[in-house]
Structure 1
């Protein structure tokens, strides 16, 4: 099975240091929706793993998060593709959960959903070290995008083997060439 794990904010949609709190604030990065649809149409399963501590902080609720994810699914469906799975962590940074990236809990949920022991070789696309670190714990191959917090992340040491691309569309173009 061809599977990819994407971070959401900063990879698929514009990120905000003030949090993406509403459907109106959820704005796709140019090319990201088309890229997800291309992967899907090429036979890839697309999973999204996203920290959403805005819920724990009281900035928005689970219904609003679902509405944002419905918008994502509808946009991708409109391009002839699909998002197969979205998992999220609603905890705050000090809650001590194992699902908030950089902990690998969300990636374990994805592996369990697809009845896989680990995610060895599965691409993980993120704009921060915590995205890549969480995926690496289960054997993912790290891809950093320069969108979102990606340019800031480039100033830090990256995990060995991290490939860097301008955006999600460039990652997808690379994967579909292989």
Structure 2
């Protein structure tokens, strides 16, 4: 997708998304045979429900039909959440992942190109500079606290936990 079309789509759709109290995470345009697929990825602090996605999808479809931004060719529109395997790249992603187990690839001395330490830890709190983590103990050892700055993170992704404990300590089934 050309930068111009991406920018035009973002400029056209972002006001619709933010009016619903959502964040526009990504716009993906790809070819599927003779058709094109336009995937709009949205998220919020409270999560998404199917009714809200359907309502937003209708509004986006109407807005795209009013303009020529997609041209004359057929396309399929999909409005969805980022999914569990989305990389954490924005401050808000880390805030939303508070309480979750995350796999971090740390950079070497702030150099995002080199692979450093791999760390799996639970996010306890997030501020402007970084986050406080709880690193699970290994082989019966106690968990340890650790601080990680955003500048030290090369990559991060939430780990799926099927028997994650919620804040009250009760077992909770994780939705994938």
Of structures 1 and 2, the one scoring higher in RCO (CA 8 A, sep 6+) is 1
Higher strand share: 2
TM-score by length of 2: 0.26
Structure (1 or 2) with the larger CA radius of gyration? 2
